[in-house]
Amino acid sequence: MQRETMRGDDDLVTMREELREAIRAQEELQVQLRAAVKELSETLSRQPAQATDVELQRIDIRMRSIEQRLNATGDQLRSILQSRIWRALVSIGGFFLRFQRFGRSR
């Protein structure tokens, strides 16, 4: 029983860390995407008729890359949240919280 609890704790720690990393990566990608959109807007407002194809292509490639990474991070986050291990850990945590509240009410 102790080993199972310890292994469950290790799984929980691992899942939490993966979740934190995915959230951090997603936040970083959102910042990069906002910067790319801002750069595109500034470029278009400065030189609407003179914006070179090279600049637009560079910005377009950058935005696509950020969008792809953001989608991959979202998929990773979704897979973590939908995994059986995560759902089991959440259920067990809910059980312990209910048990803890029940113990306090006595």
Inside any domain, residue 15: yes
Condensed to tens digits (0 to 9), the pLDDT of residues 8-29 reads: 667 778 888 888 888 888 888 8
In the chain, the amino acid numbered 26 is Q
The CA distance from 10 to 29, in Å, is 28
Inside any domain, residue 33: yes
The CA distance from 39 to 77, in Å, is 28
Domain that holds residue 83: 6-105
The pLDDT assigned to 1 comes to 46
The helix/strand/coil state of 1 is: coil
Inside any domain, residue 1: no
Radius of gyration, alpha carbons of the chain: 22
The helix/strand/coil state of 47 is: coil
- Sites in the chain below the pLDDT cut of 50: 1
Inside any domain, residue 61: yes
Inside any domain, residue 63: yes
In the chain, the amino acid numbered 60 is D
Mean pLDDT of the chain: 79
The number of domains in the chain is: 1
Inside any domain, residue 73: yes
Pull the structure tokens for residue 103.
């113990």
